[in-house]
Amino acid sequence: MKRQKASSLADLSALAGVSISTVSRALADNPLVAVATRDKIKRLAREHDFQINVAARNFRLQRTGAVGVILPLGHEAEQHLTDPFFMSLIAALADALSDRGYDLLLSRVIPSNDQWLKAFVESGKVDGVIIVGQSDQIDVIETVSANYAPLVVWGASIAGYSQLTVGSDNFEGGRLAAQHLLSQGRKRLTFVGNPAVPEFEARFAGFNEAIAQAGAPSGAVLPSHVTPEASYATIRANFKDATVPDGIVAASDVIALSALRAIADLGLRVPDDVAVVGYDDVFIAKQTMPALTTIRQDVVLGAQMMVDLLFRRVAGEKVTSISLQPTLVLRASA
């Protein structure tokens, strides 16, 4: 008995001696077709290991079965796909999407003009878009978002913008970090990171808020890129010349890691001379020496929220942006 592979409904219909539409319905377990016929067709499908042509089905149903996950590399072309935080967010997104039977179409975009997002959503390649990080593209996102519902952004919900976002409360995170340092008696705090990045700007604002509330001397900011090399160089150079702070809040764990190393290389001790608080709680945070005290963002929850919001919006529900509460994870560095 030769079992040729059936590669279309037409093949199966020929085998079963019924019409294509009956096969289609049978495989969908449509009660319109008699149980006996259904079983027979399903058996044949199994025997000839039939796999439906997903592309054709999706085309007919005017969907794609995929959700685009875009990383705009605006501020920092280097960041993101090497940054452990974004990586684990993507991993969590992949899981959350596949739980719903959707595929993840990964796209790195270096925004060259302001049409990239519009072109992407209109290409019809995906049923929805998740943007990881607003970068400096918040206005582009806002414009598209006005006419395209299935769009969720990992980032901040900013006054005057209506894009649907999921993000952790960066202001609160920054506040928590600074407050912790102040509560340990630290006086001269520095925020390390580029405040032009929206997320970092909010963290910096929270940082300042905590300082103001404590009546402490106002904190400093040391703008820095997010790559390990650049941040290390920035911190090292700056702390050689300027007064070294006794507490650092880093805009990300990767920057914090650089800070740990730079401080050690300058002959200072963490946390004795300088306390360091990171941000993200990426998987290596507990592996640093000393282990990193940091602000934790729950990526798994965040990813689930984004996917959830996306599908609920597609289903027509009225949904609103979500802000997740970050938490302080106490380890050795502060």
Partner DNA sequence: TGCGATTTTGCAATCGTTTGTATTTAGTAT
Partner DNA sequence: ATACTAAATACAAACGATTGCAAAATCGCA
Q: Note the residues at the interface with a copy of itself (CB under 8 A).
A: 49, 51-56, 58-59, 64-66, 69, 81-82, 84, 87-88, 90-91, 94-95, 98, 103-108, 119, 122-125, 227-229, 232, 254, 257-258, 260-261, 264, 283-284, 286-289
> Shortest approach of a copy of itself to residue 81 CB, angstroms?
3
Distance between CA atoms of residues 307 and 226, nearest Å: 27
Angle at 92 between CA 123 and CA 51, to 5 degrees: 60
Residue type, 102: Y
Q: How many CB atoms lie within 10 A of CB 245?
A: 23
Question: Which does residue 266 touch among a copy of itself, DNA, none (CB within 5 to 8 A, set by kind)?
Answer: none
Question: Six-digit token pair at 329?
Answer: 């994870």
31 or 215: CB nearest DNA: 31
* Contact in structure between 256 and 250 (CB atoms under 8 Å): yes
Rounded to 5°, angle at Cα 284 from 283 and 289: 145
Q: Which of 3, 47, 59, 287 binds DNA (CB under 7 A)?
A: 59
By beta-carbon proximity to DNA, the closer residue of 43 and 60 is: 60
Output the smallest distance, CB 55 to DNA, in A: 7
Of 37 and 304, nearer to DNA (C-beta) is: 37
One of 3, 46, 57, 269 touching DNA (CB under 7 A): 57
Annotate each residue in 62-91 with x if it binds DNA (CB under 7 A) or - if it does not, as one string: x-----------------------------
Question: CB of residue 29 vs DNA: minimum separation in angstroms?
Answer: 11
In angstroms, the CA 226 to CA 77 distance is 10
* Nearby residues of 282 by Cβ (< 8 Å), 6 or more positions away: 84, 85, 88, 253, 254
